[in-house]
Structure 1
Amino acid sequence: MFKRVKNWTANHFKSWMALSMIGATLSLSSCFNDDDLQETPPAGYVLIYQGSPDAPSMDVYANQNKVNNYPISFTEGINYSPFYTGERAFKFTSNNSLSSLLEKNFTIKEDSVYSLFVMDKVAQLDAVLIQDNWSEPTADASQLRLVHLSPDAGNVTLEISDIEGNFVDDLAFGEASEFDGLSPDIYNLTVKSENSGEVLVTATNIELRGNSVYTLILRGLKTNANNETKLDLQMITNYINY
Protein backbone atom coordinates (compact mmCIF):
# COMPACT_ATOMS: atom_id res chain seq x y z
CA MET A 1 0.00 0.00 0.00
CA PHE A 2 0.99 3.63 -0.43
CA LYS A 3 2.18 6.15 2.07
CA ARG A 4 -0.39 8.96 2.00
CA VAL A 5 1.15 12.38 1.50
CA LYS A 6 -0.94 15.38 2.48
CA ASN A 7 -1.42 18.07 -0.18
CA TRP A 8 1.36 16.85 -2.49
CA THR A 9 -0.76 17.99 -5.43
CA ALA A 10 -0.37 21.77 -5.14
CA ASN A 11 1.95 22.41 -8.11
CA HIS A 12 1.24 19.20 -10.05
CA PHE A 13 -2.49 19.81 -9.87
CA LYS A 14 -2.35 23.41 -11.09
CA SER A 15 -0.19 22.36 -14.04
CA TRP A 16 -2.64 19.58 -14.85
CA MET A 17 -5.56 22.03 -14.69
CA ALA A 18 -3.84 24.26 -17.22
CA LEU A 19 -4.01 21.39 -19.68
CA SER A 20 -7.77 21.06 -19.08
CA MET A 21 -7.42 17.44 -18.02
CA ILE A 22 -9.34 17.64 -14.78
CA GLY A 23 -11.11 14.67 -13.15
CA ALA A 24 -11.90 12.82 -16.39
CA THR A 25 -15.20 10.92 -16.10
CA LEU A 26 -18.07 10.03 -18.37
CA SER A 27 -20.70 11.50 -16.06
CA LEU A 28 -19.08 14.71 -14.79
CA SER A 29 -19.18 17.84 -16.97
CA SER A 30 -16.59 20.63 -16.85
CA CYS A 31 -17.43 24.22 -15.95
CA PHE A 32 -14.18 25.70 -17.28
CA ASN A 33 -13.87 28.55 -19.73
CA ASP A 34 -10.87 30.37 -21.17
CA ASP A 35 -10.70 32.78 -18.22
CA ASP A 36 -10.09 29.87 -15.82
CA LEU A 37 -6.72 29.20 -17.47
CA GLN A 38 -5.35 32.67 -16.73
CA GLU A 39 -3.40 33.64 -13.63
CA THR A 40 -5.71 33.39 -10.63
CA PRO A 41 -5.57 34.47 -6.98
CA PRO A 42 -4.77 31.87 -4.27
CA ALA A 43 -7.32 29.08 -4.54
CA GLY A 44 -8.33 25.59 -3.51
CA TYR A 45 -9.79 23.11 -5.99
CA VAL A 46 -13.18 21.49 -5.53
CA LEU A 47 -15.02 18.71 -7.36
CA ILE A 48 -18.79 18.70 -6.75
CA TYR A 49 -20.90 15.53 -7.04
CA GLN A 50 -24.69 15.31 -6.71
CA GLY A 51 -25.44 12.10 -4.80
CA SER A 52 -29.00 12.72 -3.56
CA PRO A 53 -31.20 10.13 -5.29
CA ASP A 54 -34.52 12.01 -5.10
CA ALA A 55 -33.37 15.62 -5.33
CA PRO A 56 -34.28 17.72 -8.38
CA SER A 57 -31.70 18.96 -10.88
CA MET A 58 -29.63 21.53 -9.04
CA ASP A 59 -27.79 24.80 -9.38
CA VAL A 60 -24.84 25.44 -7.08
CA TYR A 61 -23.75 28.80 -5.69
CA ALA A 62 -20.65 29.78 -3.73
CA ASN A 63 -21.04 33.13 -1.93
CA GLN A 64 -23.95 33.91 -4.29
CA ASN A 65 -21.88 33.19 -7.42
CA LYS A 66 -23.35 30.45 -9.60
CA VAL A 67 -20.87 27.64 -10.11
CA ASN A 68 -22.47 25.41 -12.77
CA ASN A 69 -23.24 26.05 -16.44
CA TYR A 70 -25.76 23.20 -16.68
CA PRO A 71 -28.22 21.67 -14.17
CA ILE A 72 -26.68 18.95 -12.02
CA SER A 73 -28.80 15.83 -11.68
CA PHE A 74 -28.28 12.72 -9.56
CA THR A 75 -24.90 11.05 -10.37
CA GLU A 76 -23.64 14.19 -12.16
CA GLY A 77 -21.42 17.03 -11.08
CA ILE A 78 -18.72 19.58 -11.75
CA ASN A 79 -15.06 18.78 -12.31
CA TYR A 80 -12.30 20.24 -10.16
CA SER A 81 -12.52 24.03 -10.33
CA PRO A 82 -10.68 26.80 -8.47
CA PHE A 83 -12.43 28.44 -5.52
CA TYR A 84 -11.26 31.43 -3.49
CA THR A 85 -9.84 30.47 -0.11
CA GLY A 86 -11.48 30.99 3.27
CA GLU A 87 -15.00 30.22 4.45
CA ARG A 88 -17.36 29.89 1.50
CA ALA A 89 -21.15 29.76 1.72
CA PHE A 90 -22.43 27.04 -0.62
CA LYS A 91 -26.09 27.08 -1.64
CA PHE A 92 -27.87 24.33 -3.55
CA THR A 93 -31.15 25.20 -5.28
CA SER A 94 -33.54 23.60 -7.73
CA ASN A 95 -32.57 24.48 -11.29
CA ASN A 96 -33.61 28.03 -12.23
CA SER A 97 -34.90 28.68 -8.72
CA LEU A 98 -33.50 30.84 -5.93
CA SER A 99 -35.31 28.77 -3.31
CA SER A 100 -32.64 26.98 -1.30
CA LEU A 101 -32.56 23.21 -0.84
CA LEU A 102 -29.44 23.39 1.32
CA GLU A 103 -27.04 26.05 2.56
CA LYS A 104 -23.77 25.08 4.20
CA ASN A 105 -20.42 26.76 4.88
CA PHE A 106 -17.09 25.10 4.11
CA THR A 107 -13.53 26.36 4.53
CA ILE A 108 -11.30 26.16 1.44
CA LYS A 109 -7.54 26.21 1.99
CA GLU A 110 -4.97 27.41 -0.51
CA ASP A 111 -3.58 24.74 -2.87
CA SER A 112 -5.73 22.05 -1.29
CA VAL A 113 -7.89 19.65 -3.30
CA TYR A 114 -11.40 18.63 -2.23
CA SER A 115 -14.48 16.68 -3.26
CA LEU A 116 -17.86 18.03 -2.16
CA PHE A 117 -20.58 15.38 -2.11
CA VAL A 118 -24.29 16.26 -1.91
CA MET A 119 -25.96 13.39 -0.07
CA ASP A 120 -29.08 11.89 1.51
CA LYS A 121 -32.71 12.17 0.42
CA VAL A 122 -33.90 15.65 -0.39
CA ALA A 123 -35.94 15.93 2.83
CA GLN A 124 -32.71 15.53 4.84
CA LEU A 125 -30.33 16.95 2.24
CA ASP A 126 -26.75 17.39 3.39
CA ALA A 127 -23.29 17.85 1.94
CA VAL A 128 -19.80 16.82 3.04
CA LEU A 129 -16.45 18.28 1.98
CA ILE A 130 -13.60 15.76 1.90
CA GLN A 131 -9.97 16.70 1.38
CA ASP A 132 -8.46 14.61 -1.41
CA ASN A 133 -5.05 13.35 -0.31
CA TRP A 134 -3.37 10.87 -2.59
CA SER A 135 0.22 9.76 -3.08
CA GLU A 136 2.16 10.80 -6.16
CA PRO A 137 0.94 8.48 -8.94
CA THR A 138 3.36 6.08 -10.62
CA ALA A 139 3.10 3.93 -13.72
CA ASP A 140 3.04 0.68 -11.75
CA ALA A 141 0.18 1.58 -9.41
CA SER A 142 -3.42 2.78 -9.28
CA GLN A 143 -5.04 4.44 -6.27
CA LEU A 144 -8.63 3.92 -5.21
CA ARG A 145 -11.03 4.99 -2.45
CA LEU A 146 -14.68 4.27 -1.70
CA VAL A 147 -17.24 7.00 -0.93
CA HIS A 148 -20.51 5.86 0.68
CA LEU A 149 -23.53 7.90 -0.47
CA SER A 150 -26.38 5.38 -0.09
CA PRO A 151 -28.77 6.56 2.66
CA ASP A 152 -30.25 3.13 3.44
CA ALA A 153 -27.43 0.65 2.79
CA GLY A 154 -25.92 0.70 6.30
CA ASN A 155 -22.20 0.32 6.93
CA VAL A 156 -20.39 -1.50 4.13
CA THR A 157 -17.21 -3.33 3.19
CA LEU A 158 -15.48 -3.45 -0.19
CA GLU A 159 -13.88 -6.62 -1.52
CA ILE A 160 -11.63 -6.64 -4.59
CA SER A 161 -10.77 -9.81 -6.48
CA ASP A 162 -7.22 -11.13 -5.95
CA ILE A 163 -6.80 -8.87 -2.89
CA GLU A 164 -6.59 -10.65 0.46
CA GLY A 165 -9.06 -9.34 3.03
CA ASN A 166 -11.36 -6.37 2.66
CA PHE A 167 -10.06 -3.38 0.75
CA VAL A 168 -12.39 -1.17 2.83
CA ASP A 169 -13.90 -2.10 6.22
CA ASP A 170 -16.97 -0.76 8.01
CA LEU A 171 -17.54 2.40 5.98
CA ALA A 172 -20.52 4.45 7.17
CA PHE A 173 -22.91 6.58 5.14
CA GLY A 174 -21.35 9.94 4.27
CA GLU A 175 -17.79 8.74 4.80
CA ALA A 176 -14.87 8.14 2.44
CA SER A 177 -12.01 5.70 2.80
CA GLU A 178 -8.41 6.81 2.25
CA PHE A 179 -6.86 6.41 -1.18
CA ASP A 180 -4.97 3.11 -1.28
CA GLY A 181 -2.73 1.50 -3.89
CA LEU A 182 -3.47 -1.36 -6.27
CA SER A 183 -1.47 -2.87 -9.10
CA PRO A 184 -2.88 -1.85 -12.50
CA ASP A 185 -5.17 -4.69 -13.57
CA ILE A 186 -8.78 -5.68 -14.24
CA TYR A 187 -10.74 -6.37 -11.05
CA ASN A 188 -14.13 -7.48 -9.79
CA LEU A 189 -15.57 -5.28 -7.01
CA THR A 190 -18.06 -6.41 -4.37
CA VAL A 191 -19.75 -4.20 -1.79
CA LYS A 192 -21.29 -6.05 1.15
CA SER A 193 -23.27 -5.14 4.24
CA GLU A 194 -20.92 -4.89 7.21
CA ASN A 195 -23.56 -6.31 9.56
CA SER A 196 -25.12 -9.16 7.56
CA GLY A 197 -22.50 -9.93 4.93
CA GLU A 198 -25.18 -9.59 2.23
CA VAL A 199 -23.85 -8.72 -1.21
CA LEU A 200 -25.32 -5.31 -2.01
CA VAL A 201 -23.83 -4.59 -5.44
CA THR A 202 -21.04 -5.85 -7.69
CA ALA A 203 -19.06 -4.51 -10.64
CA THR A 204 -17.03 -6.81 -12.88
CA ASN A 205 -14.10 -6.35 -15.23
CA ILE A 206 -13.18 -2.89 -13.93
CA GLU A 207 -9.86 -1.69 -15.31
CA LEU A 208 -7.61 0.34 -13.02
CA ARG A 209 -4.66 1.92 -14.79
CA GLY A 210 -1.28 3.09 -13.56
CA ASN A 211 -0.63 6.78 -12.97
CA SER A 212 -4.32 7.15 -12.09
CA VAL A 213 -6.36 8.05 -9.00
CA TYR A 214 -9.98 6.90 -8.77
CA THR A 215 -13.03 7.31 -6.53
CA LEU A 216 -15.59 4.51 -6.38
CA ILE A 217 -18.99 5.86 -5.32
CA LEU A 218 -21.70 3.74 -3.73
CA ARG A 219 -24.88 5.64 -4.52
CA GLY A 220 -28.63 5.15 -4.81
CA LEU A 221 -31.18 3.34 -2.67
CA LYS A 222 -31.26 -0.25 -1.48
CA THR A 223 -35.07 -0.23 -1.13
CA ASN A 224 -37.99 1.52 -2.86
CA ALA A 225 -35.83 2.61 -5.78
CA ASN A 226 -36.59 2.89 -9.47
CA ASN A 227 -34.10 1.98 -12.19
CA GLU A 228 -32.46 5.41 -12.07
CA THR A 229 -32.04 5.51 -8.29
CA LYS A 230 -31.27 1.88 -7.48
CA LEU A 231 -28.15 0.99 -5.51
CA ASP A 232 -25.16 1.02 -7.82
CA LEU A 233 -21.46 1.77 -8.16
CA GLN A 234 -19.95 4.63 -10.13
CA MET A 235 -16.27 5.23 -10.84
CA ILE A 236 -14.79 8.67 -11.43
CA THR A 237 -11.20 9.57 -12.20
CA ASN A 238 -9.72 12.19 -9.86
CA TYR A 239 -6.30 12.52 -11.43
CA ILE A 240 -4.08 11.13 -14.17
CA ASN A 241 -0.34 11.72 -14.09
CA TYR A 242 0.32 12.24 -17.80
Structure 2
Amino acid sequence: MKRSIIRFLCAAMFIAGCTKDAEMPVSPALSYLMVYNGSPDFYGAGSMAFVNNALYGTRSYNENGAGLVGAFNFSRYSFIDTGLYRMAFTDSATIPANATKITETLLQFENEKHYTVYLLDSLGFFDILYTQDDVAPDPVKAKIRLLHLSPDAGKVYLRIDTVLIGGIREVGFRNVSGYTAVSADIKPGIRIMYKDEAGEEKTLVRKSFPLEAGKCYTMILRGYKTPADGNINKTINLSTITNF
Protein backbone atom coordinates (compact mmCIF):
# COMPACT_ATOMS: atom_id res chain seq x y z
CA MET A 1 0.00 0.00 0.00
CA LYS A 2 2.80 2.37 0.91
CA ARG A 3 4.53 1.73 -2.43
CA SER A 4 1.27 2.42 -4.28
CA ILE A 5 0.92 5.77 -2.55
CA ILE A 6 4.50 6.72 -3.43
CA ARG A 7 3.93 5.76 -7.09
CA PHE A 8 0.74 7.82 -7.14
CA LEU A 9 2.48 10.87 -5.69
CA CYS A 10 5.36 10.61 -8.20
CA ALA A 11 2.92 10.32 -11.10
CA ALA A 12 0.97 13.32 -9.85
CA MET A 13 4.15 15.39 -9.56
CA PHE A 14 5.19 14.39 -13.09
CA ILE A 15 1.81 15.37 -14.53
CA ALA A 16 1.90 18.65 -12.62
CA GLY A 17 5.37 19.36 -14.00
CA CYS A 18 4.25 18.67 -17.55
CA THR A 19 1.23 20.92 -17.08
CA LYS A 20 3.47 23.68 -15.73
CA ASP A 21 5.79 23.40 -18.75
CA ALA A 22 2.84 23.42 -21.11
CA GLU A 23 1.52 26.59 -19.51
CA MET A 24 4.79 28.54 -19.72
CA PRO A 25 4.22 31.91 -21.46
CA VAL A 26 5.28 32.22 -25.08
CA SER A 27 8.13 34.55 -25.98
CA PRO A 28 7.01 38.15 -26.56
CA ALA A 29 6.73 39.40 -30.13
CA LEU A 30 9.80 41.52 -30.87
CA SER A 31 11.26 43.49 -33.77
CA TYR A 32 14.83 44.72 -34.25
CA LEU A 33 15.50 48.41 -34.84
CA MET A 34 18.52 50.43 -35.97
CA VAL A 35 18.55 54.22 -36.54
CA TYR A 36 20.87 56.00 -39.00
CA ASN A 37 21.34 59.74 -39.59
CA GLY A 38 21.87 60.34 -43.30
CA SER A 39 21.37 64.12 -43.21
CA PRO A 40 24.52 66.16 -44.04
CA ASP A 41 22.99 69.09 -42.13
CA PHE A 42 23.99 67.26 -38.95
CA TYR A 43 27.68 67.10 -39.72
CA GLY A 44 29.32 68.09 -36.43
CA ALA A 45 25.93 68.17 -34.70
CA GLY A 46 23.33 65.70 -33.48
CA SER A 47 19.66 64.88 -33.79
CA MET A 48 17.63 63.05 -31.18
CA ALA A 49 15.52 60.12 -32.37
CA PHE A 50 12.23 59.63 -30.54
CA VAL A 51 10.00 56.55 -30.46
CA ASN A 52 6.49 57.37 -29.23
CA ASN A 53 7.91 60.58 -27.72
CA ALA A 54 10.51 58.63 -25.71
CA LEU A 55 14.17 59.31 -26.46
CA TYR A 56 15.69 56.41 -28.40
CA GLY A 57 19.14 57.91 -28.88
CA THR A 58 21.20 60.67 -30.50
CA ARG A 59 22.73 60.41 -33.95
CA SER A 60 25.17 62.70 -35.75
CA TYR A 61 25.59 62.60 -39.52
CA ASN A 62 26.57 59.16 -40.80
CA GLU A 63 26.11 57.42 -37.44
CA ASN A 64 24.06 54.29 -36.74
CA GLY A 65 24.62 53.86 -33.01
CA ALA A 66 27.90 51.99 -33.49
CA GLY A 67 29.88 55.13 -34.31
CA LEU A 68 30.64 56.71 -37.66
CA VAL A 69 29.91 54.43 -40.62
CA GLY A 70 32.96 54.21 -42.86
CA ALA A 71 33.59 52.07 -45.90
CA PHE A 72 31.89 49.37 -43.88
CA ASN A 73 30.60 49.05 -40.34
CA PHE A 74 28.56 46.64 -38.27
CA SER A 75 24.87 46.99 -37.52
CA ARG A 76 23.54 48.09 -34.14
CA TYR A 77 20.02 46.71 -33.67
CA SER A 78 18.02 46.97 -30.47
CA PHE A 79 14.89 45.09 -29.45
CA ILE A 80 11.52 46.80 -29.75
CA ASP A 81 7.98 45.52 -29.26
CA THR A 82 6.01 44.95 -32.43
CA GLY A 83 3.30 47.39 -33.46
CA LEU A 84 2.72 50.87 -34.81
CA TYR A 85 5.14 53.56 -33.63
CA ARG A 86 5.53 57.30 -34.01
CA MET A 87 9.12 58.04 -35.05
CA ALA A 88 10.56 61.55 -34.92
CA PHE A 89 13.85 63.43 -35.18
CA THR A 90 14.80 66.79 -33.67
CA ASP A 91 16.80 69.78 -34.87
CA SER A 92 19.42 69.44 -32.14
CA ALA A 93 20.77 67.13 -29.45
CA THR A 94 20.14 69.52 -26.58
CA ILE A 95 17.75 68.62 -23.79
CA PRO A 96 14.33 67.59 -25.20
CA ALA A 97 12.60 70.69 -23.85
CA ASN A 98 14.77 72.89 -26.09
CA ALA A 99 14.65 70.72 -29.22
CA THR A 100 12.11 70.94 -32.03
CA LYS A 101 10.87 68.04 -34.12
CA ILE A 102 11.87 68.43 -37.76
CA THR A 103 10.11 65.35 -39.13
CA GLU A 104 7.74 62.72 -37.80
CA THR A 105 5.95 59.66 -39.16
CA LEU A 106 4.16 56.43 -38.21
CA LEU A 107 5.95 53.12 -38.85
CA GLN A 108 4.83 49.52 -38.41
CA PHE A 109 7.23 46.92 -36.99
CA GLU A 110 6.47 43.20 -37.34
CA ASN A 111 7.56 40.19 -35.34
CA GLU A 112 11.14 38.93 -35.85
CA LYS A 113 11.83 41.49 -38.59
CA HIS A 114 14.89 43.76 -38.75
CA TYR A 115 14.39 47.44 -39.64
CA THR A 116 16.55 50.51 -40.15
CA VAL A 117 15.07 54.00 -39.83
CA TYR A 118 16.92 56.78 -41.70
CA LEU A 119 16.86 60.55 -41.32
CA LEU A 120 17.42 62.23 -44.69
CA ASP A 121 17.15 65.74 -46.09
CA SER A 122 17.31 67.82 -49.21
CA LEU A 123 18.57 71.33 -48.40
CA GLY A 124 16.79 71.43 -45.07
CA PHE A 125 13.63 69.55 -46.07
CA PHE A 126 13.75 66.56 -43.75
CA ASP A 127 12.12 63.17 -44.12
CA ILE A 128 12.14 59.67 -42.63
CA LEU A 129 12.71 56.50 -44.60
CA TYR A 130 12.73 52.95 -43.28
CA THR A 131 13.77 49.61 -44.71
CA GLN A 132 13.26 46.00 -43.78
CA ASP A 133 16.71 44.44 -43.65
CA ASP A 134 17.74 41.01 -44.91
CA VAL A 135 19.55 38.90 -42.33
CA ALA A 136 19.13 35.56 -44.12
CA PRO A 137 22.62 34.81 -45.46
CA ASP A 138 23.53 33.07 -48.69
CA PRO A 139 26.25 30.57 -47.68
CA VAL A 140 28.27 31.01 -50.89
CA LYS A 141 27.46 34.60 -51.91
CA ALA A 142 27.41 38.09 -50.43
CA LYS A 143 24.13 40.02 -50.58
CA ILE A 144 24.27 43.74 -51.35
CA ARG A 145 21.79 46.55 -51.88
CA LEU A 146 22.04 50.31 -52.47
CA LEU A 147 20.19 53.03 -50.57
CA HIS A 148 20.20 56.46 -52.25
CA LEU A 149 20.28 59.43 -49.83
CA SER A 150 22.11 61.94 -52.07
CA PRO A 151 19.65 64.68 -53.12
CA ASP A 152 21.51 66.05 -56.16
CA ALA A 153 23.06 62.86 -57.53
CA GLY A 154 20.27 61.73 -59.84
CA LYS A 155 19.68 58.08 -60.67
CA VAL A 156 22.63 55.75 -60.30
CA TYR A 157 23.62 52.15 -60.86
CA LEU A 158 26.35 49.84 -59.61
CA ARG A 159 29.35 48.07 -61.06
CA ILE A 160 31.71 45.76 -59.23
CA ASP A 161 34.97 46.19 -61.11
CA THR A 162 33.63 46.16 -64.68
CA VAL A 163 30.59 43.96 -64.03
CA LEU A 164 27.18 45.63 -64.13
CA ILE A 165 25.00 44.49 -61.21
CA GLY A 166 21.63 44.02 -62.84
CA GLY A 167 19.61 44.19 -59.63
CA ILE A 168 20.96 47.65 -58.71
CA ARG A 169 19.99 49.99 -61.55
CA GLU A 170 18.11 53.28 -61.88
CA VAL A 171 18.15 53.88 -58.12
CA GLY A 172 16.99 57.41 -57.37
CA PHE A 173 16.95 59.65 -54.30
CA ARG A 174 14.91 58.26 -51.37
CA ASN A 175 14.89 54.80 -52.93
CA VAL A 176 16.55 51.50 -52.10
CA SER A 177 17.27 48.58 -54.37
CA GLY A 178 16.54 44.99 -53.47
CA TYR A 179 19.32 42.73 -52.26
CA THR A 180 21.39 41.07 -54.99
CA ALA A 181 23.66 38.07 -54.47
CA VAL A 182 27.21 38.65 -55.75
CA SER A 183 30.47 36.73 -55.64
CA ALA A 184 32.55 37.12 -52.51
CA ASP A 185 35.76 39.11 -53.01
CA ILE A 186 38.57 40.35 -50.78
CA LYS A 187 39.04 43.70 -52.53
CA PRO A 188 36.37 44.43 -55.15
CA GLY A 189 36.15 47.75 -56.92
CA ILE A 190 32.67 49.00 -56.02
CA ARG A 191 31.65 51.83 -58.32
CA ILE A 192 28.52 53.96 -58.19
CA MET A 193 27.86 55.03 -61.77
CA TYR A 194 25.70 57.54 -63.60
CA LYS A 195 25.29 58.90 -67.12
CA ASP A 196 25.86 62.55 -67.92
CA GLU A 197 23.71 64.70 -70.19
CA ALA A 198 25.52 63.33 -73.23
CA GLY A 199 24.79 59.77 -72.14
CA GLU A 200 28.40 59.05 -71.26
CA GLU A 201 29.04 56.74 -68.32
CA LYS A 202 30.72 58.39 -65.35
CA THR A 203 31.97 57.14 -61.98
CA LEU A 204 30.39 59.01 -59.09
CA VAL A 205 32.03 57.17 -56.17
CA ARG A 206 34.53 54.33 -56.00
CA LYS A 207 35.17 52.28 -52.86
CA SER A 208 36.72 48.96 -51.99
CA PHE A 209 35.92 46.76 -49.01
CA PRO A 210 35.65 42.98 -48.52
CA LEU A 211 32.47 41.23 -49.56
CA GLU A 212 32.18 38.04 -47.53
CA ALA A 213 30.04 35.02 -48.33
CA GLY A 214 27.20 34.72 -45.85
CA LYS A 215 27.02 38.48 -45.20
CA CYS A 216 24.28 41.00 -46.08
CA TYR A 217 25.33 44.60 -46.81
CA THR A 218 23.51 47.92 -47.22
CA MET A 219 25.53 50.51 -49.15
CA ILE A 220 24.42 54.08 -48.50
CA LEU A 221 25.05 56.81 -51.07
CA ARG A 222 25.03 60.03 -49.04
CA GLY A 223 25.97 63.71 -49.18
CA TYR A 224 25.85 66.25 -52.01
CA LYS A 225 27.71 66.39 -55.29
CA THR A 226 27.81 70.15 -54.68
CA PRO A 227 27.18 71.15 -51.03
CA ALA A 228 25.33 74.47 -50.84
CA ASP A 229 27.65 75.75 -48.09
CA GLY A 230 30.81 74.41 -49.72
CA ASN A 231 31.59 72.13 -46.76
CA ILE A 232 33.73 69.31 -48.13
CA ASN A 233 32.61 67.06 -45.27
CA LYS A 234 29.16 67.02 -46.84
CA THR A 235 30.32 65.92 -50.29
CA ILE A 236 29.06 62.70 -51.81
CA ASN A 237 30.37 59.47 -50.34
CA LEU A 238 29.54 55.81 -49.83
CA SER A 239 29.09 54.08 -46.48
CA THR A 240 28.23 50.45 -45.88
CA ILE A 241 26.50 48.71 -42.99
CA THR A 242 26.79 44.96 -42.52
CA ASN A 243 23.23 43.93 -41.67
CA PHE A 244 24.27 40.39 -40.79
Contact kept, 8 Å, 1:44 with 1:84, in 2: the verdict is yes
Contact kept, 8 Å, 1:63 with 1:88, in 2: the verdict is yes
Tell me which residue corresponds to 1:199.
Answer: 203
Structure 1 residues 77 and 158: CA distance shift in structure 2, 3 A: same
**In the alignment, is residue 237 of structure 1 matched against residue 242 of structure 2?**
yes
- Report the alpha carbon displacement of residue 192 of structure 1 after superposing the two structures with TM: 1.7
Contact kept, 8 Å, 1:154 with 1:194, in 2: the verdict is no
Contact kept, 8 Å, 2:134 with 2:243, in 1: the verdict is no
Moved more, 99-108 or 158-167: 158-167
C-alpha separation between the residues in 1 aligned to 2:120 and 2:28? 30
Task: Say which SS state the counterpart of residue 41 (structure 2) adopts.
Answer: coil
Task: Say which SS state the counterpart of residue 228 (structure 1) adopts.
Answer: helix
Tell me which residue corresponds to 1:8.
Answer: none
- Report the alpha carbon displacement of residue 51 of structure 1 after superposing the two structures with TM: 0.3
C-alpha deviations, 1:6-49, integer Å up to 9, x for none? Answer: xxxxxxxxxxxxxxxxxxxxxxxxxxxxxxxxx97312112211
C-alpha separation between the residues in 1 aligned to 2:144 and 2:102? 31
Tell me which residue corresponds to 2:93.
Answer: 95
**Counterparts of residues 214-225 of structure 1 (less than 5 Å):** 214-224=217-227, 225=230
Contact kept, 8 Å, 1:52 with 1:122, in 2: the verdict is no
Tell me which residue corresponds to 1:60.
Answer: 49
TM-score, L = length of structure 1: 0.75
Structure with larger Rg: 2
- Where do 5+ consecutive residues of structure 2 fail to align? 1-25, 66-75
Report how many aligned residue pairs link the two structures.
197
Give the letter aligned to residue 80 of structure 2: F
Give the letter aligned to residue 156 of structure 1: V
Tell me which residue corresponds to 1:144.
Answer: 144
Contact kept, 8 Å, 1:102 with 1:125, in 2: the verdict is yes
C-alpha separation between the residues in 2 aligned to 1:122 and 1:89? 24
Structure 1 residues 223 and 122: CA distance shift in structure 2, 3 A: closer
Give the letter aligned to residue 179 of structure 1: Y
- Report the alpha carbon displacement of residue 122 of structure 1 after superposing the two structures with TM: 6.0
Tell me which residue corresponds to 2:29.
Answer: 42
C-alpha separation between the residues in 2 aligned to 1:46 and 1:122? 27
C-alpha deviations, 1:49-94, integer Å up to 9, x for none? Answer: 10011134111110122111xx311100232111221110012112
TM-score, L = length of structure 2: 0.74
Moved more, 146-155 or 113-122: 113-122
Give the letter aligned to residue 89 of structure 1: R
C-alpha separation between the residues in 1 aligned to 2:41 and 2:220? 17
C-alpha separation between the residues in 2 aligned to 1:221 and 1:119? 12
Moved more, 168-177 or 50-59: 50-59
Contact kept, 8 Å, 2:137 with 2:215, in 1: the verdict is no
- Report the alpha carbon displacement of residue 136 of structure 1 after superposing the two structures with TM: 3.1
Give the letter aligned to residue 46 of structure 2: S
Contact kept, 8 Å, 1:61 with 1:90, in 2: the verdict is yes
More helix by share: 2
Moved more, 230-239 or 187-196: 187-196
